[in-house]
Structure 1
Amino acid sequence: MVKVRIWGSLQSATDDRAEVEIDAGTLRELLDGLAREYPALRPQLERGVSVAIDGKVYNDSWFTPISPDSEVVLLARLRGG
């Protein structure tokens, strides 16, 4: 299981939980698990999110490995301006 910190407004889709646990070994498995466990999060996941794994932000790197002791943070997609 991977502990995922849910950042900011995304918490409203996880019943205001700031941290959840998902069984995942890759970024794709993590996002699929989040959509399955928290259906209210699915629209945001489909629009796009950023995931920080051990301090590095990933957007579409589906096969990025995640270990159970990784620090994982789910954020609304970061966009430059």
Structure 2
Amino acid sequence: MSVSVRIPTILRTYTGGASEVPASGTTLAEVLDDLEAHHAGIRARILDDNGALRRFVNVYVGNEDVRFLEDLATPTPDGVQVSVIPAVAGG
């Protein structure tokens, strides 16, 4: 399955400045593996050392936050947009 992945500004150094890149996979985990295969180092900025989503990174498949779906096992249908969004904190 082919999807498009929206890349936040802070991670665009891994994608040569591209704000959106293609990736393939039937689940979010497979999409992140494919993303890593083409843009080395980016997965470590999205996943922690245990392979879970980093606490301050939100990932959406379509308009749904994967933490409320199936996390890394969330299906990624053909043509869906995956968005990686760094959480904003402050006070």
TM-score interval, normalised by the smaller of the two chains: 0.7 to 0.9
* Aligned counterpart, 1:20: 21
Q: Shift of the alpha carbon at 1:42?
A: 3.2
Q: How much has 1:80 moved relative to structure 2?
A: 6.5
3-state SS of the aligned residue for 1:31?
Answer: helix
- Is contact 1:3-1:22 (8 Å) kept? yes
Aligned residues: 80
Identify, as 1 or 2, the structure richer in helix: 1
Normalising by structure 2, report the TM-score.
0.72
Q: CA deviation at 1:66?
A: 0.7
Find the aligned partners of 2:66 and 2:34 in 1 and give their Cα distance.
Answer: 17
- Secondary structure of 2:12's counterpart equals helix
Deviates more, 1:18-27 or 1:62-71: 62-71
Q: Is the 8 A contact 1:53 1:72 kept in 2?
A: yes
Q: How does 1:32-71 map to 2 (within 5 A)?
A: 32-47=33-48, 48=54, 49-59=57-67, 61-71=71-81
Q: Please, what TM-score do these two structures have when normalized by structure 1?
A: 0.79
Q: CA RMSD in A?
A: 2.1
Gaps of 5+ in 1: none
> Runs in 1 of length 4+ with deviation above 2 angstroms?
45-50, 78-81
Taking only the aligned residue pairs, the percentage that are identical comes to 26
Q: Structure 2: where are the runs of 5+ without partners?
A: 49-53
Counterpart of 2:5 in structure 1 is: 4
> Which residue does 1:74 correspond to in 2?
84
1:25-53 residue CA offsets vs partner (Å, 9 max, x unmatched): 10110111111111131330333242111
CA contact (8 A) 1:22 1:30 kept: yes
